[in-house]
Structure 1
Amino acid sequence: MIQVRRRSVWSAALVALVAATAGGVAWGLSGSPARSAAQAPTPVDYPGLPHTPVNVSEGGCGAGWSSGRTGLQVFDLRDSSTGNADVQLLEPSSGRVVGEVEGLAAGTSRPLLVRLAAGRYAFRCLLTDTDAVTGPAVPVSGPGSQSEGASGTPGVVPVTQQDLIPAAQAYQKWVAAQLPALLAQVTALQSDVAAGDLGRARADWLTAHLSYERLGAAYGAFGDADAAINAAGHDGTGFHRLEYGLWHGESAASLGAPAARLVQDVRALQRSWSAVQFDPQLLGVRAHEIVENTIEFELTGRTDEGSGSNLRTAQANLEGTAEVLALLRPLLASRLPLGPVDAALSAARAELRSLGGVPLSQVTRAQRELLNARFGALVEELAPVAAVCDERRTS
């Protein structure tokens, strides 16, 4: 895993999650741009659907909506306060959120598309520099109840930073426990190079590199250390510099300095890791991004500097993803059906095992297409994990 792309998971995840309007599990956010008061949303935004104007302010959160019917509908949210606001539509009895709009600017409007079952709902307005304000509970009648779930967008209890901290701490301890073995492995690699045993060095290179790749979710916290240890290309330092030399006939003498530098960088990482402030939000994001990066860099062979080990690296990446999911499972179990996620992960791992870790050049086109399909399906299933684990204000 290299060069983790830093982007808002929200934008990608919501494409998948707005499937909530068809019964999927997630918040029914709208991707429509904010509009000024003079450009308030109209039924043309979602033609044929019922629209309800709703006010967003400290003193009038949810004003304008007093009763409703079940089904797919649009709430036209207008921020009449003096600051930005996040707006959530929730079930007051459980705290589950069924719809959300983030970053609604003062004086602007935006539509919220959501499917409601029968029950009671309220808007929660989270305005800048003020406490959360929850509007009145509004009865919604018609076929299908909240308890049935199938007739409306299933609600999800928001994840807070406090919820994520235990998982992040457990992950940090897990990484710390892996680093001594990694240091021993790169030290063995350096010894092989120093002894001129490049055949053994190639074997030890692969062992060490796969160990590093299993730490996928930590790369954002590794920062510059990751760039030194695992940056793509053979013209820098780290694993890929050694890979190129070991598989392109360089002498042991020429590889001595890069091998020593790799040991130095891993040792420095081990010393500094306990002081790293690991962002709890990274876990949910990285479960998704590890697989995205595997598709972009490993399944295309872009990182191959001669070892032909991309498929084995992809397998290590999936092991890292499984570790992240194991730590997040207590949070996710009550918020997201994990069966499809587990099935997609198992299918991707099984496909890699069936190929036996051969170089990509030996994989047929049909095999590549099936492998890409397996990983594409896994990315789709992991997108809700990233979105659900995006921490939110609730007060």
Structure 2
Amino acid sequence: MSPSSAVLTGVAAVSVSLLAACGGDAGGGNPDTTKIVASDSECEVTRKDFPAGVNEFHVTNTGSRVTEVYVYAPGDKIVTERENIGPGTSVTLTVQLAAGTYQIACKPGMVGAGIRQDITVTGQADPKLDPRAEKAVTDYRAYVVEQTDSTIAATRKFAAAFKAGNVAEAKRLYAPSRIGWERIEPVAESFGDLDPRVDLREADLKPGEKWTGWHRLEKALWKTGSTKGEEQYADQLIKDLGELKAKVNAARLDPPITPVSMANGAKELLDEVATGKVTGEEEVFSHTDLVDFKANVDGAFKVYQLLRPVVRDKDPDLAKELDENFTKVQDALTKHQRGDGYVSYDTVGKADRKTLADAVNALAEPLSKLAKAVTK
């Protein structure tokens, strides 16, 4: 996960600089668009009351640091987020909100709890949904359940090898155990503190915070070379993934999946690639970043694939651009494929990393328009 995770919208160097530069999907021409001005010390929102349904936010960073903007539901449940907004750049967020109270948070430097503003959403959104979009939501929910089940099955095998002290086998099973999680990471991240318990990196630990999850086990395997004394964290990982399963199998997801949330989640998966995988910061001990990279891209493509019938109808030029750029990213990845996996990322040179980053950023720009396209 990136230093500041993102999540699906609910109804109710190589990375930051490049992504911020291409992420300027600035529009703001719509008179109904709410402006958010994020500086190093303020988070100004031009209105505080909103109608239920789809709302558009035009975010401008007037500060000196890269920032990100969150929309929180009560209990700091993340509704949506856009990260890597560089100084002097703007982005447009399309968000679907149900009636209730929320907070908008600007996070200069992409750290901390953020500078917050309260907002209120009232009324009832139009329940009508394009049948093609409705099918996309149904199919995506099934995909989330499927990927959760595959993650748990693969992680059980990994945990068993880890607890048995079989370091070589646990190393082999580590990256495959994460694939399903990485494909649906925005959904997984929406469930409170579940994501930090499962996927927090050592570099992102706060003082006094307990470290659990995959990356603690990764460090034991590749840095320490022993699983002794760490077995309890393998058990905890399985328990936490069981919590994920219970949540995605619930009759009603909270926050629920919508076409807009799917589209925003796809963009967040590309942000994950740009801020963690391309830079090599995600798998700092195992260097299995390209496996995560591929899983993030696969998850984003699945969303686009499901929404493509709607996008082709409403914005055929965007669909063509997305088709072409997804292919370019997959082609860039294929160069580093070895058998069923990928080369160790510490063997990928600067030129090849730049090629990967360029392909990701070229895709991120049109992908940032997907949410708006499906609401036309």
Q: How far is the alpha carbon of 1:203 from its aligned partner?
A: 1.0
The residue identity in structure 2 corresponding to 1:386 is: A
Q: How far is the alpha carbon of 1:290 from its aligned partner?
A: 0.8
Q: Which residue in the other structure is 2:367 paired with?
A: 382
Runs ≥4 in structure 1, deviation > 6 angstroms? 11-14, 30-34, 83-86, 100-103
The residue identity in structure 2 corresponding to 1:201 is: A
Determine if contact 1:186/1:263 at 8 Å carries over to the other structure: yes
Q: How far is the alpha carbon of 1:14 from its aligned partner?
A: 9.2
Q: Which residue in the other structure is 1:268 paired with?
A: 243
Q: Which residue in the other structure is 2:25 paired with?
A: 16
Q: Which residue in the other structure is 1:93 paired with?
A: none
Classify 1:324/1:291 alpha carbon distance in 2 versus 1 (closer, same or farther; 3 Å): same
Tell me how far apart the structure 2 counterparts of residues 184 and 375 of structure 1 sit (CA, whole Å).
30
Classify 1:220/1:85 alpha carbon distance in 2 versus 1 (closer, same or farther; 3 Å): closer
Classify 1:294/1:85 alpha carbon distance in 2 versus 1 (closer, same or farther; 3 Å): closer
Q: How far is the alpha carbon of 1:344 from its aligned partner?
A: 0.4
Determine if contact 1:287/1:324 at 8 Å carries over to the other structure: yes
Determine if contact 2:23/2:365 at 8 Å carries over to the other structure: no
Tell me how far apart the structure 1 counterparts of residues 181 and 370 of structure 2 sit (CA, whole Å).
24
Tell me how far apart the structure 2 counterparts of residues 344 and 192 of structure 1 sit (CA, whole Å).
39
Q: Which residue in the other structure is 1:258 paired with?
A: 233
Q: Which residue in the other structure is 2:223 paired with?
A: 248
Q: Which residue in the other structure is 2:345 paired with?
A: 360
Tell me how far apart the structure 2 counterparts of residues 226 and 290 of structure 1 sit (CA, whole Å).
14
Tell me how far apart the structure 1 counterparts of residues 33 and 160 of structure 2 sit (CA, whole Å).
58
The residue identity in structure 1 corresponding to 2:320 is: G
Tell me how far apart the structure 2 counterparts of residues 196 and 85 of structure 1 sit (CA, whole Å).
55
The residue identity in structure 2 corresponding to 1:376 is: N
Report which of the two structures shows the higher radius of gyration computed on alpha carbons. 1
Q: Which residue in the other structure is 1:342 paired with?
A: 323
The residue identity in structure 2 corresponding to 1:244 is: K
Structure 1 SS opposite 2:190: helix
Q: Which residue in the other structure is 2:257 paired with?
A: 279
1:203 aligns with 2:172: yes
Q: How far is the alpha carbon of 1:101 from its aligned partner?
A: 8.5
1:177 to 125, 129, 146: 146
Tell me how far apart the structure 1 counterparts of residues 267 and 26 of structure 2 sit (CA, whole Å).
14
The residue identity in structure 2 corresponding to 1:321 is: A
Q: How far is the alpha carbon of 1:161 from its aligned partner?
A: 6.6
Tell me how far apart the structure 2 counterparts of residues 161 and 289 of structure 1 sit (CA, whole Å).
26
Classify 1:17/1:343 alpha carbon distance in 2 versus 1 (closer, same or farther; 3 Å): farther
Give aligned pairs, total: 266
Q: Which residue in the other structure is 2:269 paired with?
A: 290
Determine if contact 2:217/2:230 at 8 Å carries over to the other structure: yes
- TM norm structure 1: 0.59
Classify 1:361/1:160 alpha carbon distance in 2 versus 1 (closer, same or farther; 3 Å): farther
Determine if contact 1:13/1:384 at 8 Å carries over to the other structure: no
Which runs of no fewer than 5 residues in structure 1 stay unpaired?
A: 19-26, 35-82, 87-99, 104-128, 130-158
Identity of aligned residues (%): 22
Q: CA RMSD in A?
A: 3.5
Q: Which residue in the other structure is 1:227 paired with?
A: 196
1:326 aligns with 2:314: no
Tell me how far apart the structure 2 counterparts of residues 253 and 304 of structure 1 sit (CA, whole Å).
21
Classify 1:84/1:196 alpha carbon distance in 2 versus 1 (closer, same or farther; 3 Å): closer
Q: Which residue in the other structure is 2:129 paired with?
A: 162
Classify 1:206/1:101 alpha carbon distance in 2 versus 1 (closer, same or farther; 3 Å): closer
Structure 2 SS opposite 1:222: coil
Tell me how far apart the structure 1 counterparts of residues 244 and 8 of structure 2 sit (CA, whole Å).
25
Determine if contact 1:287/1:386 at 8 Å carries over to the other structure: no
Q: Which residue in the other structure is 1:5 paired with?
A: 6
Tell me how far apart the structure 1 counterparts of residues 136 and 33 of structure 2 sit (CA, whole Å).
34
Structure 1 SS opposite 2:174: helix
Classify 1:197/1:28 alpha carbon distance in 2 versus 1 (closer, same or farther; 3 Å): same
Q: How far is the alpha carbon of 1:251 from its aligned partner?
A: 2.4
Classify 1:255/1:221 alpha carbon distance in 2 versus 1 (closer, same or farther; 3 Å): same
The residue identity in structure 2 corresponding to 1:273 is: V
1:300 to 271, 275, 279: 279
Q: Which residue in the other structure is 2:155 paired with?
A: 186
Q: How far is the alpha carbon of 1:224 from its aligned partner?
A: 2.3
Structure 2 SS opposite 1:179: helix
Q: Which residue in the other structure is 1:51 paired with?
A: none
Tell me how far apart the structure 1 counterparts of residues 138 and 360 of structure 2 sit (CA, whole Å).
28
